Chains A and B, each alone.
Chain A
Amino acid sequence: MDASVILFYVISVLLVLSSLMVVFLRNVVHCALALVVALFLIAILFVMLHAPMVGVLQVLVYAGAIMVLFLFVIMFLNPTASEPRRKLWWGFGSAAALLLAASLAALLSNGEAPADPVTATETFGSPETLAKSLFTDFVLPFEITSVLLLVAIIGAVVLAKREP
Chain B
Amino acid sequence: MIVDIGIVAVKAFLVLFMVLNLAGILGWIERKGSALIQDRIGANRASVFGFAGMGLINTLIADPLKFLTKEDFVPPEGDKFLHTLAPCMTLFTALVTFAVIPFGDVLVLGERVINLQVANLNIGILYVFAIGSLGVYGIVIGAWASNNKFSLMGAVRGSAQMISYEVAMGLSVIGILMVFGTLELQEIARGQGTLIRDMLPESAGFLRSTVGRLPAWGIFLQPLAFLLFFTAAVAETKRIPFDLPEAESELVAGYHVEYSGGKFLMFFAGEFAEIVTAAGLMTTLFFGGWQVPYLMRDGFHFPWGEAVVLPHLAVTALQVGAFTLKVIFFCWLQILLRWSVPRFRYDQVMRLGWKMLLPLALLNVIVTAIVIIALQ
Residue positions of A touching B, CB distance < 8 A: 27, 29, 33, 36, 52-53, 56-57, 59-60, 63-65, 68, 71-72, 75-76, 126-127
Contacts and interface: CB of A to CB of B under 8 A. Distances in A.
Contacts of A76: 156
5 nearest interchain CB pairs? A64-B133, A59-B130, A60-B130, A56-B126, A56-B130
B211 interface: no
B163 interface: yes
B140 A71 contact: yes
B159 A127 contact: no
B140 A59 contact: no
Nearest to B177: A127
Q: Is the interface of A mostly helix, strand, loop or mixed?
A: helix
Interface string B79-122: 10010000000000000000000000000000000000000011
Contact of B123 (A33, A56, A64, A75): A56
Interface in B103-157: 121-123, 126-127, 129-131, 133-134, 136-137, 140-141, 143-144, 152, 155-156
A36 B159 CA distance: 16
A76 B134 CA distance: 20
9 contacts: A29-B144, A52-B123, A53-B123, A60-B133, A63-B133, A64-B130, A68-B136, A72-B159, A76-B156
A60 B159 contact: no
A80 B141 CA distance: 17
B171 to A, nearest CB: 13
Given A59-B131, A60-B130, A68-B163, 20 more contacts: A27-B79, A29-B141, A33-B137, A53-B123, A56-B130, A60-B129, A63-B133, A68-B136, A68-B137, A68-B159, A71-B137, A71-B141, A71-B144, A75-B140, A75-B143, A75-B152, A75-B156, A76-B156, A127-B122, A127-B123
Contacts of A60: 126, 129-130, 133
Nearest to B143: A75
Contacts of A33: 82, 137, 141
Contacts of A36: 137
B133 A29 contact: no
B127 A56 contact: yes
A113 B183 CA distance: 34
Contacts of B130: 56, 59-60, 64
A157 B143 CA distance: 25
A63 B131 CA distance: 10
Contact of A127 (B129, B133, B183): B183
- Could you say which of A36, A64, A65 has the most chain B C-beta atoms within 10 Å of its C-beta? A64
Nearest to A123: B122
Nearest to B152: A75
Contacts of A27: 79
B163 A65 contact: yes
Contact of B122 (A52, A59, A68, A71): A52
A28 B123 CA distance: 34
Given A56-B126, A64-B130, A68-B163, A75 B136 contact: no
A29 B156 CA distance: 15
- Could you say which of A57, A72, A126 has the most chain B C-beta atoms within 10 Å of its C-beta? A72
A75 B137 contact: no
B235 to A, nearest CB: 16
Contact of B134 (A53, A64, A126): A64
Given A60-B130, A75-B156, A68 B123 contact: no
A59 B79 contact: no
Contacts of B122: 52, 126-127
A75 B144 contact: yes
Contacts of B131: 59
Contact of A64 (B136, B143, B144): B136
A62 to B, nearest CB: 10
A59 B131 CA distance: 8
Contacts of B183: 127
Given A29-B144, A68-B159, A75-B152, A52 B134 contact: no
B86 to A, nearest CB: 11
Given A52-B123, A56-B127, A71-B140, A65 B133 contact: yes
Contacts of B140: 68, 71-72, 75
Contacts of B141: 29, 33, 71
Contacts of A56: 123, 126-127, 130
A127 B141 CA distance: 32
B79 A29 contact: yes
